[in-house]
Structure 1
């Protein structure tokens, strides 16, 4: 099935998988390419800084490295969800070039992302890795590591967790729809990439990461279902710094 102009098939998967496309906005926000590279002094002008500080306010955290980690994992999950959702439903994926993908850091899905031009690409693992890992996660990881000191291993662990989560949601949807979409097999192939393979262990749809996203440091937070920890390490805050 060819990519339709509105990527309407993604709507059946839920808002986290939806991507707005050309014509959806007359005044689009800056692109993700600008978010990864911008060094402006004004808070809102730098959309990455704005998002990290907004997340910090929402979770009542005084540690920007914690909110940076949570913000990065959410964006990674959006990117993986869109790519995998299109791959299994359409058999092709849109070009997610960060120069084409606009991002509103104040919005939540599906209003956070807007694709300026629909360019079909192959749905094979190599193409998806090029679009998501090389196009987005590498520059985003470099920016957050440089600005907030978040360990690169932690951020790649977030990316692995987000990939596993997107595949798991697709697998859950497929069981309910009595359809075999191949999400597990595609995720397993994606996890062979050198950036993702060390992040954890994927067993079927279950994933156990080798790092911690630092959510336990959020007031009232704890450990996630795929965390490397089996209990809250708050008594030793530095234990999950990487």
Structure 2
């Protein structure tokens, strides 16, 4: 490290700081897109299963349970090996989204089941309120905090999975991410060469990103939760 290269350079003379900026951007884009797609799936499944019930609930929860019990890391590793040549950031985001919705859909379903038994639901149904209006105007106000919190949690999971797959060399290593930075640092013997800044930079950035996303998840959940807002007003 020097004034010209704040975080030093790699064994090939590449600036680690500028690599890090691009890597964080790509990792965040991957995490955000994947989490948004999986939230759409989780919301749809949770709302339909919780509100419609019956056979739709049983079928959707059967599918959800099937995804939950899968050993996700092993499945993702096998799929990454099979489609490694086509594994771009977009493909990887969709792959993570496909396996990242099941548990959160169950949380949303549980909340909808609770809301369905509330008095305002019976009042709305008796007054002839359409189901879609009831869901979008009433239920979503209660589901949004949970969905937002799980979105951030899913971003953490996606980032961790990307780092793991990149470390194993199963992603597109030509695209700079936190995982590919770690992959190149280990492959080019950064530890043996004493280039500690090269290997600790992506690790430190990943840890800081995980902690920041976790704290953001808690803050957003408390801010968007109507009950938490009422409680804060009462304390004042």
- Normalising to structure 1: TM-score of the pair? 0.27
Greater share of helix residues, 1 or 2? 2
| Structure number, greater radius of gyration | 2
- Normalising to structure 2: TM-score of the pair? 0.27
The higher relative CO (CA closer than 8 Å, separation ≥ 6) is in 2
Greater share of strand residues, 1 or 2? 1
